[in-house]
Amino acid sequence: MPKRKTQADLKPIPATQPVIQDVVDKQRAAEEEMEKSHGTWRIVLISVILVGIAFGIFVVSNFALTAKESANSTLNEPVVPQPVQIAPVPAIKQNIVDISTYAADPSLYLNKQVSFLSYLKHEIRGNENNSVNSYFALDDAGRKLELSSISADERMHFPYNSTSNTVYNVTGVIRKTAKGYAVTVASLAVQ
């Protein structure tokens, strides 16, 4: 059976004693250097804080002086009235566009020449795959008459899928269609 080692057997070999001492000395030196570098960082941090406080005091005092100067200068200067520009009041829409005579019962005017003032309206009916462009004459009350036989030049007056802001003089003949009645346009002119 092997012999148990005692504390005396575990003592370091005298030749390794200086090596261990060198390692311990290097660790102490490294710790001292770390403490010195931490001390440097502390000094830098405190310096930055002091500079920030000084800058803040300068900005606040400068702002207070500027505010006092502007308050004093406005009290001593004479007040000069500035001209005020008033925006023009939009014109109130009057019922100048009225197609009720023709829209109420277009059959009374079937195949007759008519002339009236209206807004122009363009609508797209249907879905993505099958759509139809429709053109209408529209009055102030929202009544509408369908328009047909519109030339390409006249279509330029119709805003895309919207209603015009301009009043037009529409001249044409009221005709019977599959859907009801429509005005076959002879001419469109800006009123």
Q: Summarize pLDDT for 128-177 with one digit per residue, the tens.
A: 788 889 999 998 888 889 999 999 999 999 999 899 988 999 999 999 98
Q: Are residues 107 and 172 in the same domain?
A: yes
Question: pLDDT grade, residue 92 (50/70/90)?
Answer: very low
Q: Are residues 70 and 104 in the same domain?
A: no
- Domain assignment of residue 81, yes or no: no
- Domain assignment of residue 166, yes or no: yes
Residue 90 above 60 pLDDT? Answer: no
* Local structure of 134: helix, strand or coil: strand
**Angstrom distance (rounded) from CA 147 to CA 136:** 5
The top-scoring range by mean pLDDT among 8-17, 56-65, 158-167 is 158-167
For residue 59, what pLDDT is reported? 72
